Structure 1
Amino acid sequence: MMVTFSRRALMLAGLALGAATAVLPGAAQAARTDLTLGIRLEPPHLDPTAGAAAAIDEITYANIFEGLTRIDAQGAVLPWLAKSWEISEDGKTYTFSLRDGVRFHDGTTFDAQDAKFSLDRARGEDSTNAQKPLFSGIESVEVVDPLTLKVTLSQPNGAFLFNLGWGDAAMVAPESAAGNKAKPVGTGPFTFSQWVQGDRIVLRKNPEYWGAPVRLDKATFKIIADPAAALAALLAGDVDGFPIFQALENLPMLEADPRFTVDVGSTEGETILAMNNKAGPLADVRVRRAISHAIDRQAIIDGAMFGVGTPIGTHFAPHHPAYQDLVGTYPLDLDAARALLAEAGYPEGFKATLKLPPPAYARRGGELIASDLKKIGIELEIVPLEWAQWLSDVFKGKTYDMTIVSHTEPMDIGIYGRDDYYFQYDSPEFKKVMAELEAATDTDTRYKLMAEAQRRITEDAVNVYLFQLAKAGVWNAKLKGMWRNAPIQANDLTGVHWED
């Protein structure tokens, strides 16, 4: 017997079935495979080997681009595109065995020729790599065979494998390197899909990835500069979270909301009042020491960061075993500050500029520092800058007196030994310490030299060391695998997934 049903009856039956399925206790729903994360800053471009902005690595590191080694969530160095290596007895030659079957997103094969191209490009005379000094100790790069690379250093470098894990050491291909700023082509588990300027950057799962497949099919980085807008987007569900949440005053409220996970960890971000050591009065160490005595670090943490941050007295992460607690070197002492200024020939103080990049810690902190320095006669003209202007005027052009910025690169105290770096600090004694550190491989020896380097830059008051930037992450409570700490500039999505 044939039974027929009207369209209305079929529709009602379908609705009833759907309702019944929805209330069944064992009914399973597929976990989400899309993700939208809010970010504060839009990167100037997407090539981590050609720019200093942390926002580049925060999107591309481990997602689009990969290196011979990789730094994980705990700061450990892992083999990556190089599956293993051997080090010569004299510590100067590294022979890397590369993974087989790795391809770039455009289908071209990754091999030792690409690795050689990447390292030679980073260290070449015309290199635009922001961390070019990391590669200056490479004497030669040799292709032994398609899956074997030999790198010879001019002298042993105990940090070499760690340095290869930076985004600046990402592997790129000669066929696509020139276009990586706008359309990045890497070997990672995500491919670049779309960049809507001022709004979002979209990544898609790489179906041809050589390693373990990621669990996200799509990841969107939504650019939201305003802290109030960031909170509104989070509460409305327009974004699933912020790896670094700017509206710190709202953390207590979000912690009490079961919809969210609030996870406050640490970063490698030393937040400093950077001073141009060759600019007028700031060329005198007594003036820089006076400024160091005049600034209330804890008040800046409370006022600019709502109490979230750790005071520091040198350019080094407090969570590192070699950290030296030098916060007490320049206690808040306005009388000492005025005496040092008078000794340097500025009893009435002087005028200077304070050029501030966009982050809230800089803009809020700048007002507080200007107030502190006014008490000892230093009048600051505050000049707000966008990142492109800051990179051009301050970082490259060195046309500034003071600025506030977080240096989020890992283990980067070596920048104080670079010729013509934007601090314009020039100390043969410091360079000697760094040369010894670079050659040392024994851990105890390296830690002693790191301690000496910290003490020297603090004694010379190169900058005012304010606080270690915290990583305040807020995201949907069902989202798992987000990094708590930031041992490197990264929003590594390779382990991120949704749970019911």
Structure 2
Amino acid sequence: MTEFEMKLKAAGTAVARGKLSRRDFIQLALASGVTLAAAQTMFAKAARAEPKKGGLFKFGSGHGSTTDTLDPATWANGFNFQFGKSVMGAPLAQIDQKGGLVPHVAESFEPADGAKKWIIKLRKGITFHNGKSLTADDVVATINYHIGPDSKSPVKDFMNSITSIKADGPETVVVELNSPNADFPYLTTDYHLPIYPSADGKIEWEKGIGAGPYILKSYEPGVKLTAERNPNYFKDTWFDAIEMLTIADVAARTNAYLSGEVHFIDRADLKTIDMLKNAPDTEIYNQSGPTPYTAPMLCDTAPFNDVNVRLAIKHAINRQDLVDKILFGYGKPGNDNLIGQSMKYATNPEPIHSYDPDKAKSYLKKAGLENLKVDLSAPPSAAFPGALDAAQLMQSHAQAAGIEINVVREPDDGYWSNVWLKKPWSMCYWGSRPTIDMMFTTSLAADAAWNDTRWKNPRFNELLVQARGETDEAKRQAMYAEMQQLLHDDGGQLVLMFYNFVGALNTAIGHGEFNSDQDSDGGYMVERWWMA
């Protein structure tokens, strides 16, 4: 390294720490022979390299509904997903950038009795926003809220193996399961599970008081949330305050970004992505992950209760055309397996469900049909950006197979409450889960609240329990492979495509490596990012 290179490196470190001005850095760089444009770029990168406290971060979200609440058992979209991950909430554990488990409110997880018992040690000194100390009683009350007999929480589906949860002193929680679960600590990362203050065994969620990095100041569902940095948070966090805006219309969301109203938008309009690429001071947020757009069919409702009808539809849709025209290449075709290829134990079942109108017709004949007419419920953007356009493309694809799809335009607002899980065929998206067991248990277990196909395959559900407690890796792999094949061949999940998380981020915001399991840096953006 030359003397000038050493000086530039040292100068970059000083910039990152706020100890060297733009003018002085650029003068030094020019003196070392760097061009003005290169010097400016070097300064911008250096300025973003080290976290620093301060500033108001504004996020324009494509999610959120007027029917949303602060009740964690009801959270079902990407706006309130943020609440439990890192806005007001602090869960027992988090997921890191490599998909690994990181203890958070918990200090450690220790298995016992062949992973049928878990001892959770809590960090000392954590307080809630109201000043109350977080204890084991609060953890017990929080989990009991989601798994109680009257609970409607999706957490109940993947934590139904808990037979006992109790506090053993103020800093230890003991969980007993009815069967071994090697993945149990991962369950605690779910966004519905931030720890809440409790009284007499009941959690107090109504005011949005948690132990997370931000203290709630105001919340108008479907419109806006504001929060300020929690000065007593047990980890470093950077923004002084945050604003989260629901801007469901993608054109309005894009304009909000381009006008400087917000620093970051998710769900970018891929039709006009070049406009964002060419915008000043903009970084395109583009993360591929194991996250699918789907069109679930209710397997207990005619005509979808016939597997041959389901297979006909699976072959009547041109998924590559959807990737090209809806995702503009920012994704890849699905194959009726909810598990993304980057997840542990993922397989790609054969035969690939490709567009084949003749094969679709042959399945219709097996169902005793010459043709078929069905409704498909689709909102403009609530299910995913371009969902209505995708439904109309599917309508055109299916005509060649003798399938007439009547696209029913549904309103974005209230879609998850009024359409999804209720209409026989609808559009949907799934966020990833950190383990294949969580994904399957949440979305496909026979009695899961979010089983949006009502598919109840006995063999699948038998394997689901067996695989959860299997410690032999080869046997576990074989079980999950068989389950994915069953889903592909028999299930009601029409997995259209796996999408990238695409948004626009102003270069005024600094960040490290992103999570790719979920959008918005895994839901941790307001905790991890900073004002450069």
TM, length-normalised to structure 2:
0.83
Q: 1:303 to 1:328 in 2, by over 3 A?
A: farther
Count of residues in Structure 1 that have an aligned counterpart in Structure 2: 474
Report the residue type matching 1:448 in the other structure.
A
Give secondary structure in 2 for the equivalent of 1:413: helix
Report the residue type matching 1:231 in the other structure.
T
Tell me, in whole angstroms, the C-alpha distance in 1 between the residues paired with 2:492 and 2:506: 41
Matches within 5 A, 1:58-97: 58-97=82-121
Give secondary structure in 2 for the equivalent of 1:105: coil
Q: Which has the larger radius of gyration?
A: 1
**Which of 93, 106, 115 matches 2:130?**
106
Tell me, in whole angstroms, the C-alpha distance in 2 between the residues paired with 1:390 and 1:443: 40
Give secondary structure in 2 for the equivalent of 1:464: strand
In structure 1, what is the equivalent of residue 5 of structure 2?
none
In structure 2, what is the equivalent of residue 413 of structure 1?
440
* 8 Å contact from structure 1 (residues 36, 239) kept in 2: yes
Displacement of 1:87: 1.2
Q: 1:312 to 1:422 in 2, by over 3 A?
A: closer
Give secondary structure in 2 for the equivalent of 1:283: coil
Q: Does 1:491 align with 2:523?
A: yes
In structure 2, what is the equivalent of residue 174 of structure 1?
198
* 8 Å contact from structure 1 (residues 49, 170) kept in 2: no
**Which of 144, 166, 184 matches 1:160?**
184
Tell me, in whole angstroms, the C-alpha distance in 2 between the residues paired with 1:47 and 1:486: 27
In structure 2, what is the equivalent of residue 291 of structure 1?
313
Q: 1:442 to 1:403 in 2, by over 3 A?
A: same
Residue ranges of structure 1 left out of the alignment (5+ in a row): 1-21
Report the residue type matching 2:321 in the other structure.
A
Q: 1:251 to 1:227 in 2, by over 3 A?
A: same
Where do 4+ consecutive residues of structure 1 move more than 6 Å? 26-31
Tell me, in whole angstroms, the C-alpha distance in 2 between the residues paired with 1:262 and 1:364: 23
* 8 Å contact from structure 1 (residues 483, 491) kept in 2: no
Q: 1:302 to 1:179 in 2, by over 3 A?
A: farther
Report the residue type matching 1:343 in the other structure.
K
Displacement of 1:468: 1.0
Q: 1:327 to 1:401 in 2, by over 3 A?
A: farther
Tell me, in whole angstroms, the C-alpha distance in 2 between the residues paired with 1:31 and 1:99: 24
* 8 Å contact from structure 1 (residues 51, 130) kept in 2: no
Tell me, in whole angstroms, the C-alpha distance in 2 between the residues paired with 1:115 and 1:60: 14
Matches within 5 A, 1:311-326: 311-313=333-335, 314-326=337-349
Report the residue type matching 2:89 in the other structure.
F
**Which of 331, 346, 355 matches 2:369?**
346
In structure 2, what is the equivalent of residue 8 of structure 1?
none
Give secondary structure in 1 for the equivalent of 2:296: strand
Mean CA deviation greater in 142-151 or 169-178: 169-178
In structure 2, what is the equivalent of residue 10 of structure 1?
none
**Which of 366, 370, 380 matches 2:405?**
380
Q: 1:445 to 1:190 in 2, by over 3 A?
A: farther
Q: 1:393 to 1:245 in 2, by over 3 A?
A: closer
In structure 2, what is the equivalent of residue 329 of structure 1?
352
In structure 2, what is the equivalent of residue 404 of structure 1?
427
In structure 1, what is the equivalent of residue 148 of structure 2?
124
Q: Does 1:364 align with 2:389?
A: yes
Displacement of 1:387: 5.3
Tell me, in whole angstroms, the C-alpha distance in 2 between the residues paired with 1:343 and 1:486: 41
Give secondary structure in 1 for the equivalent of 2:404: strand
Q: 1:109 to 1:373 in 2, by over 3 A?
A: same
Q: Does 1:429 align with 2:454?
A: no
Q: 1:222 to 1:139 in 2, by over 3 A?
A: same
Q: Does 1:248 align with 2:275?
A: no
The CA deviation string for residues 1-49 of structure 1, in whole angstroms up to 9 with x for no partner, is xxxxxxxxxxxxxxxxxxxxx9964799997521111101125123333
In structure 2, what is the equivalent of residue 275 of structure 1?
297
Q: 1:50 to 1:148 in 2, by over 3 A?
A: same
* 8 Å contact from structure 2 (residues 75, 81) kept in 1: no
In structure 1, what is the equivalent of residue 12 of structure 2?
none
Mean CA deviation greater in 54-63 or 25-34: 25-34
Tell me, in whole angstroms, the C-alpha distance in 2 between the residues paired with 1:194 and 1:336: 54
Give secondary structure in 2 for the equivalent of 1:347: coil
Report the residue type matching 2:71 in the other structure.
D
Q: 1:197 to 1:133 in 2, by over 3 A?
A: closer
Mean CA deviation greater in 484-493 or 290-299: 484-493
In structure 1, what is the equivalent of residue 38 of structure 2?
none
Matches within 5 A, 1:192-271: 192-209=216-233, 211-242=234-265, 244-271=266-293
Give secondary structure in 2 for the equivalent of 1:251: helix
Give secondary structure in 2 for the equivalent of 1:263: strand
Q: Does 1:438 align with 2:461?
A: no
Q: 1:324 to 1:380 in 2, by over 3 A?
A: same
In structure 2, what is the equivalent of residue 476 of structure 1?
506
Q: Determine what percentage of the aligned residue pairs are the same residue.
A: 22
Displacement of 1:295: 0.4
Compute the RMSD of aligned alpha carbons: 2.6
Residue ranges of structure 2 left out of the alignment (5+ in a row): 1-20, 27-42
Tell me, in whole angstroms, the C-alpha distance in 2 between the residues paired with 1:249 and 1:298: 16
In structure 2, what is the equivalent of residue 302 of structure 1?
324
* 8 Å contact from structure 1 (residues 289, 461) kept in 2: no
Q: 1:484 to 1:311 in 2, by over 3 A?
A: farther
Q: 1:311 to 1:353 in 2, by over 3 A?
A: closer
Tell me, in whole angstroms, the C-alpha distance in 1 between the residues paired with 2:292 and 2:92: 27
Q: 1:277 to 1:39 in 2, by over 3 A?
A: same
The CA deviation string for residues 425-453 of structure 1, in whole angstroms up to 9 with x for no partner, is 11101011111111123444333322221
Give secondary structure in 1 for the equivalent of 2:291: strand
